[in-house]
Amino acid sequence: MGKLTKTSTPLLFQSKLLCFSLSYLFLSLLFAFYNSISSTTRCHFGSSLIHPIQSPLFNYPPSYGQHKHPIPTLHSSCDSPVFFKDYWFVLNEIRRIAKNSSWNSKGLRYVQRDGNEGGFGMNYTTKKRMSYFEYRNDGIEIPCGFFKKFPISVYDKIAMESCNEVVVVSAIFGDHDKIRQPKGLGYKTLDHVCFYMFVDEITLKQFYHHNLLSQKNKENRIGVWRIVKVSSDELYENSAMNGVIPKFLVHRLFPNSKYSIWVDAKMQLVVDPLLLLHSLVIEPDVDMAISKHPFYVHTMEEAIATARWKKWWNINALRIQMETYCENGLQPWSTKKHPYPSDVPDSAIILRKHGVASNLFSCLLFNELEAFNPRDQLPFAFVRDQMNPKMKLNMFDVEVFEHVAIEYRHNIKHGGSVGVQIPRTKWASPDSLANGGSGGKCDSYLKEMWGESKD
C-alpha cells in the first residue's frame, strides 16, 4: 500500500487571525459600497420613489466651488422625522388638486398704481397698514407691492405666468450665495414643478465668469434653475429687501401656480418638492408650512439677537419697530397661542398653498418689511396673530428642516457682500428706551436689547 500524501495548507490560510482580518475587511467594504449606492433612496424616500433621477443635474466647474462650507447637523439622515407617501400617489394627487382647484379664482384684489414713479411699495403708516388686517372679502383692494414695475424681461414674465402647478423659488443678490441643485427629484417632477432663481447683475456676472451661463442664450438655465435677471438698481438699495420680493410675493410673480416653495439660496433641497408639499401642507390641510426656530420662541428674543449680532444696522429703528408691535397687541408666546408652537420661524424654507389666507399673510408681512427692515422673523407673529381670517399654519420641528435640506454658509467676502455697503450702526440710547411709548409692555426687553447689542 502506498503512503497517504498530506496536502499542505496554503500559507495564506494558516493564520486564523489573518483569515479573520481579511473577511472583516471584505465585509466592511461590501457594506460601505451598499450604503454609498442606496443611502439617498433608502434614507429619504424608503420605497416611495421608484425612479429617482440618478444622473447629476449639472456639473459645476471646480473654480465655482458650490459645495463649500456645509453646516453640520447632529441628526441622522436615515432617522426620518417625517413620513413621505408613495411618489406616484403623491404625483397624481397633486396633479388632481391642481387641475380641479378653484381657490385661486377667488383670490385677493390688489391696490394698483399707474406709472413707474415712486417706490415698489407704498410704505404706509402703521394705522393704514393695520387697517387691512381684517379682510372681509368685500372688494377692498390690499396693498401688496408692485406699485413700481418689477424689472424683469417680458420673456421671463410670460414663462412665469405659464407655471400652473408648483413653483420652487430662490434668489441670489449681491453674489451672496452659491447656486446649488436639488437632490432626489422624482422621475416626473420636472414636468410639474418649475424652478426659478432670481439674480441681480453682480451675481449674473459671476455666473458668466465661471462659465455657468453663456451670454449667447436667451433663456438662461443652470441645471433645473431658470435664471431670471432682476435690475436691482430700479428697486431697493438693500439687496436683502430685493430678495424679500420673490420670497413673500411669489403668489403675485406666479399668479397661476397652486403651490410654492421658497428656498433660501444657502439651502439645498434633498427631498422631492412634491413629497414635501404633500407631507407638510396637503395632508395636514394647512395654508403654510415653516420650520420653528431652533433656539427662540419669543419675538423679542429674535429682536435682541438681531441687535446683538448686528443683523440689522439701525438699532434705534429695531426698538421703534418692537415698540410699535407691543403698542398694537403683540404678546409673548404662551400656550394660549396654540396650535402655534412658537412665535419665531426659521424662514429659510417656506411651503405655501396659494389661497386667500396665505396670500393675505404674505402681503401684510411684506408691508411690514418695507416699513421697517427685511428681517422677516420680527413681524411674523404680529401679522399672524392680528390678521383675520386666521391662517392655518404648520410650524414643523427643526429635525424635519434638517432632514429635507442641507444648509451652507453664505458666500461671505472681505468687506461685506459685493456691491453692498454696510451702514454704520445707529445705537438706541438708554433714555429713549426708558421713555418709549410702549407703556412698559416691552421696556425690560428693549433695555436688554440695547444693553446686549452694545457688548
More confident call, 269 vs 416: 269
Question: Which of residues 154 and 106 earns the better pLDDT score?
Answer: 154
Please tell me the predicted confidence (pLDDT) of residue 45: 45
Mean pLDDT for the chain? 83
Residue type, 345: P
State the Cα–Cα distance between residues 434 and 157, nearest whole angstrom. 50
Tell me which residue of 394, 389, 401 sits closest to 359, measured CA to CA.
Answer: 389
The pLDDT tens digits for 290-308 are 999 999 999 999 999 999 8
- Section 204-232 average pLDDT: 90
| Listed ranges 29-43, 66-80, 100-114, 316-330; the one with the highest mean pLDDT | 316-330
Q: CA-CA distances (angstroms) from residue 287 to 98, 259, 283, 353, 393?
A: 15, 10, 11, 5, 6
Q: What percent of the chain is predicted at pLDDT more than 70?
A: 76
Say what the pLDDT of residue 421 is.
46
| Mean pLDDT along residues 378-387 | 97
Residue range 167-194: mean pLDDT, rounded? 95
pLDDT at residue 146, rounded to an integer: 94
Q: Please tell me whether residue 118 adopts helix, strand or coil conformation.
A: coil
Which pLDDT band, with edges at 50, 70 and 90, does 157 fall under? very high
| Largest interatomic CA distance in the chain | 117
Work out the average pLDDT over 30-47.
48
Q: Is the pLDDT of residue 2 over 60?
A: no
pTM over 0.75: yes
- Name the pLDDT band for 450 (thresholds 50, 70, 90): low
List, for residues 185-198, the tens digit of each pLDDT value.
Answer: 999 999 999 999 99
> Residue 23: what pLDDT?
72
Residue 49 has pLDDT above 70, yes or no: no
Confidence tier at 427 by pLDDT (50, 70, 90): very low
Give the model's pLDDT for residue 150. Answer: 94
Helix axis angle for 299-308 and 315-327, nearest 10°, is 170
Query: What is the pLDDT at residue 437?
Result: 43
Q: Are 408 and 70 within 8 A, CB to CB?
A: yes
Using the predicted structure, report yes or no on whether residue 102 has a pLDDT greater than 90.
no
| Residue 75: pLDDT band with limits 50, 70, 90 | low
Residue 358 has pLDDT above 60, yes or no: yes
pLDDT in the model for residue 40 = 42
* Structure-block grid coordinates of residue 65: 466651488
Please compute Rg for the chain using Cα positions.
26
Question: Which percentage of the chain shows pLDDT scores above 90?
Answer: 58
Kindly give the interhelix angle for 299-308 and 443-454, rounded to the nearest 10 degrees. 20
Please give the pLDDT value at position 322: 95
> 364-389: buried (b, 16+ CB within 10 Å) or exposed (e) per residue?
bbbbbbbbbbbbbbbbbbbbbbbbee
